A and B are shown apart, each in its own frame.
Chain A
């Protein structure tokens, strides 16, 4: 690290290093009922609203793409109805915000707890100690990170 360079933000204690920085994390959202995509009035660009990355008490629900594909599944298998989209962000971008990722397989508070996709369930963590403004800035950063990709749905790359 050179003089003047900022050290990387520290990760939450329960960040799991077994989830590598290059691993892609899938986040399901929708473009109707509700629409979670914002539109830029000047550029016309559409991207997820930061509202789509507001954490619950335990974090942001995501699915590990590597675990999905290892089970013979893909981003499309995260969707439970039409008009749902799937975006991915790289774990490195999450950690660069001082957040972390931990596995959370087989959550019970979902509509279909027995579906095989839930083996890949994980949580983006690290929001609990943040102020409201800090939390919201992290949400905004997640929607603008360079690794964000649409992998299923209307705006798939």
Chain B
């Protein structure tokens, strides 16, 4: 079962889509994930021509962390928790592909009992949490001293507004971490 839409469709959104810009220029860098077996997550990185590139370090980290979540069984909380849903994983990758750079502080990943995933960054008085539900919708909460609280709620596949808010917030959070003694 593939985790991501096929590459041409992804190319269309990244290069010509009205909602968001590719992370790196030029050429656009794309990430797609594909499950080679029922439970294995494998991320692959392509440029705008379809040539495969090495995975960025943040994507290697994401692959490792998300694999651990994908491997959780039903009832991992001893009660009703469901296995992490493929659409949640896809949504996480799609958002991170548009905001992460090699220097960005790595996020932390947590399973949710309804099959979703929560992705978080915490640095002093700066907190960023994104809840992805099992259908791939995303909800961002960002609290930062000196800035208004940010809340963005978007359906699956329509992450433009969320990315617009998230990208500068992560940039400031990364600066806060690198500046810390």
Contact = CB atoms under 8 A, between A and B. Distances in A.
Interface in A88-108: 107
A109 B123 CA distance: 37
Given A41-B105, A42-B124, A133-B153, A51 B110 contact: yes
Interface stretch (B26-34, B73-81, B160-168): B73-81
Residue of A49, A61, A107, A137 with most partner-chain B CB within 10 A: A49
Given A34-B68, A34-B111, A109-B79, A42 B153 contact: no
A28 B176 CA distance: 32
Contacts of B108: 38-39, 49
A111 B75 contact: yes
A65 interface: no
Nearest to A34: B111
A56 B79 CA distance: 10
Interface in A133-157: 133, 136-137, 140
B151 interface: yes
Given A34-B76, A80-B78, A140-B141, A41 B122 contact: yes
- What size tier do the contact residues of chain A reach? 20 to 34
A120 B52 CA distance: 55
B80 A136 contact: no
B124 A40 contact: yes
Residue of A43, A51, A107 with most partner-chain B CB within 10 A: A51
Nearest to A110: B79
Interface in A47-62: 49-52, 54, 56, 61
A33 interface: yes
B120 interface: yes
A109 to B, nearest CB: 6
Residue of A41, A56, A110 with most partner-chain B CB within 10 A: A41
Contact of A38 (B69, B122, B124, B177): B122
A140 B143 CA distance: 11
A125 interface: no
A61 B153 CA distance: 26
B56 interface: no
A54 B113 contact: yes
A31 to B, nearest CB: 12
Contact of B72 (A34, A51, A132, A140): A34
A36 interface: yes
Given A34-B110, A50-B118, A136 B75 contact: no
Contact of A49 (B72, B105, B113, B120): B120
